[in-house]
Structure 1
Amino acid sequence: MAITDAHHHVWDLSVRDQSWISGPELAPLRRDFHLTDLEPQARAAGIDRTVVIQTVTVPEETPELLALAAVSDLVAGVVGWTDLTAPGIADELARLRTLPGGERLRGIRHQVQEEPDPHWLTRPDVLRGLRAVADAGLTYDLVIHPGQLAAATAAALRLPDLIFVLDHLGKPPIAAGTLQPWAQAVRQLAAMPNAVCKLSGMVTEADWHEWTTDDLRPYADTVLDSFGPQRLMFGSDWPVCTLAADYAHVVESTRTLLAGLTTGEKTEILSSTAARVYRL
């Protein structure tokens, strides 16, 4: 079964610093990660297409990712960044689509997890920007922590025609081994029909050095039960995942988590949901 990797990154530190990579724990990420590094690993794991995701909140990155997608037979979609609060966001989204690879722009993402306001997603200027994203026919990826799930649910309720894609299950406390209050909050988001979830980022929310697939299972089962296979998609979160596991291990762990599902349900999570949501 061919797999779509709906969440990975690339960066070149000679082009732009990744300021979020700081401290000794993240030191292994402080180097370049190119698409040429990912391709052989992805092909070996049965990946036939990917979606590359923004990492920094600067306007220059999105055109670079689009240009990369334009010449790649692996990258099928781009989730970029633009300032949601800018008065000219609609024009900027239209401009991005005129650039090389612009036809592969599939969504927008902002580092909401770094915003100190837990209600940032429901600010009037942000909601206006999200409306522009919806009007452009794009999706919106949510990179948030559990305390921001309520605001995400409120935004999804106000914008029913915008598909919200929850990255990394909303970052549950896997290392702590606790489910609540994350599980209740994520179920409330899942009650919104325009919300989708990525089965991604779990290994770096677990204990990086001692995690097992069984540690991930309660969290994977929660989103599977809440969203269902048709609103769940796989993402590797490469290269961030390499802090806890190599690419092949992430894919294999995901396959193990899905082993009890039907072939059709596995296909939804490993390929069809991403194709449908991101129009790949």
Structure 2
Amino acid sequence: MSVLDIVDLTLRQGHRDLYQGMQFSVERGEAWMILGENGSGKSTLLAAIAGWHPRPRGEVHLLGRRIQDWSPNARARHLAWLPQSDEQPFSSTVMGKVLSGRYPHLGRWSWESSQDHAIAMLQLHRLDLDSLAHRNVNALSGGERRRSSLAATLAQQADVLLLDEPLSQLDLRHQQQVLAILREERSARRSLLVIGHDPNHARAFASHVLLLFGEGHWLAGPVDQILTATNLSALYRHPVHALTIHAETWFVPAHTVPDKLLQDPGHTAESSSSTPPALTSGDMSA
């Protein structure tokens, strides 16, 4: 049984379809990266999967049950959602925020156990937040707040992680740290859907990608099949080069790579214009 099934999902924004007839399944241990232009519906999709979108057409199944059939607490034990915003409406320490990720596992009148505290401390350590545990969340930098939000999400220890731009506001070192954590979560047989903007990150942790082209069109499948210069040029409506160096492929926007590098016989390059492939209905799945 798949961990997550998206069944004939159509979402509208105003008078336009963001995507039509979306259908794919996520297996245990798979990591999906979601790519698309601003406004293509990436965050809206995660909200629908999490059960917070008011009017989706189609269904989302979590562990074989419709998402709306789960109670909020039971759903949160199996599915964790990191929203795009890190707004903190009330004062809390970093430790308090991370401990909030354990709430779905507590009884109605229970307090956090020593095990809950140990799990929270582990996530603080993984995200380099040990020294900030007793700091007020509202006194943190943007990147520190982002890492504290991710730590709280990881503390839920859910089967499915929905992560909306977990790398936003992070410096280079902490981006690499989080990418390593995503790989660790995959190794622990958790399933991930991760929104991002750099297609090169998909090769760092993902097994699959979902491309949202807008106007109802989408494309889903394994990284090696879907992540191409042609598809990315269509996705971003800007020419993209695929540059292969020592058997590793990197995607770079046109005009950012010197011509002499593209012409180097020691490298191979695939170039594409921004002209999209011929699209018909909303379903472009492989």
**TM (normalized to structure 2)?**
0.31
Higher relative contact order (CA 8 A, sep 6+): 2
Larger radius of gyration: 2
More strand per residue:
2
